[in-house]
Amino acid sequence: MGSPSLASKVRALVGELSIIYSVGRRWSRPMPQPDSPEPLSEVHLYAVIPTWCEGDVIASTVYNAFAQGRERVFLLHSL
């Protein structure tokens, strides 16, 4: 594999600068960590994972969700 082209180097630099200076990223801005963070009382996290014939992946995903403290996991199956 050859070295990256000039265009890919420029894209990488522009991407890095856009993160540092929040250019074109109105929805996210890097911020320093607070000295004393205030944790949220309770957070409900939901996810939709579109798959097709990937039972082993879904089984691992559900297992990991429970291992990380989820109390429920909903699976939707469409034919």
Q: Are residues 77 and 47 in the same domain?
A: yes
Number of domains in the chain: 2
**Quick check: is 36 in a domain?**
no
Do residues 46 and 27 both lie within one domain?
no
How far from each other are the two terminal CA atoms of the chain, in whole angstroms?
42
Residue range of the domain that includes 68 = 42-79
What's residue 39's pLDDT?
Answer: 80
Together in a domain, 46 and 22:
no
pLDDT value at residue 11:
86
Both 47 and 16 in one domain: the answer is no
Q: What is the reported pLDDT for 42?
A: 79
Each residue's pLDDT tens digit in the chain (79 positions)?
Answer: 567 789 888 888 888 887 777 666 666 666 788 888 888 787 777 777 777 778 788 888 888 888 888 888 888 776 6
Q: What's the pLDDT score for residue 62? A: 86
Q: Whole-angstrom Cα distance, residue 32 to residue 36?
A: 12
